[in-house]
Amino acid sequence: MSSQIKTGLLLGLLTVIILLFGRMIGGHSGLVVAFVLALVMNVGSYWFSDRIILAMYRAQEISPDDAPYLHGIVSELARKANIPKPRIYLIPQDTPNAFATGRNPNHGVVAVTHGILNLLSPEELKGVLAHEIGHIRNRDILIQTVAATLAGAIMFVADMVKWTAIFGLGRSDDEEGGNPIVALVMAIVAPIAAMLIQMAISRSREYLADETGAYLAGNPEFLASALEKLEAYARSMPIYGANPATAHMFIVNPLTGESLLSLFSTHPPTSERVRRLREMAYTIRS
């Protein structure tokens, strides 16, 4: 199944959970309130996400005069991706990593750490930058915001359903009765399911950015080799001050590297990403 189709199905599943909750609370008013609150929070985050995360990691914009080679690679990849050239920021961290942000391709940003520039070969760096430009081209910031809005609404409504089930509120005598135990169980299970779906969407977008990046870089092996190096460093040297809320944005998990519980991880297993990329390389050679 393609990453695009999988993302659409997962977003649809989040929507179904919200509609089920709407029936449980005996009408749509509470559902609408929860959805609007989640929407406002996440649209605000979407609109200002680039400023927030760049400030969080003390990233500084670098000019073509400061890093002509880096700007040259990004310009080439952006032309191939048919998007405006993203701004480039440098993060003062020795741990090698990178992320992309920006609410749309016209406001794209690619940020890299000092460490990644010192660690990777020119080809590997091109693979990483191509992956990040893939995120911008695929509008992954928008998709992640939609997923976060739906998941946030589910969590708001889950609290409402929980209290409704406990105290029997929210239904008049002439409304169809509901089973408070079922409602309570769903209020506990649904937020966990929403979180798992949101993480599955994040993993799906990583796979798609890998595919896009491999195409843009011209050789899947560039990114495969880079991921192996980045994963090894992430395990032993997590990014200082990394915020779990932003972990999904980095090319590899900046906290502890590959998760032991893949369902609860924002990133696919690096070994699986590398395997897929090398399969692509083998197919191209064949």
4-30 average pLDDT score? 65
Cα-trace Rg, the chain: 21
Alpha carbons 31 and 15: distance in angstroms, whole number: 12
Which is it for the CA torsion 146, 149, 151, 154, positive or negative?
Answer: negative
Distance between CA 199 and CA 215 in Å, rounded?
Answer: 25
Domain borders along the chain are: 3-285
- Nearest alpha carbon to residue 152 among 183, 198, 206, 101: 198
Q: Which amino acids are annotated catalytic?
A: 132
Q: Residue 105 pLDDT more than 50?
A: yes
CA 62 remoteness from chain centre: 25
Contact 91, 58 (CB under 8 A): yes
How high is the mean pLDDT of the chain? 82
Backbone angles phi, psi at 102, to 5 degrees: 110, 135
Q: What's the pLDDT tens digit per position in 124-157?
A: 999 999 999 999 999 888 787 777 767 777 777 7
Residue 196: pLDDT band by 50, 70, 90 thresholds?
confident
Alpha carbon 44 to its chain centroid, in Å, reads 17
**In whole angstroms, what is the distance from residue 69 CA to residue 152 CA?**
41
Question: Is the pTM value of this prediction over 0.95?
Answer: no
pLDDT tens digits, residue range 243-258?
777 888 899 988 865 5
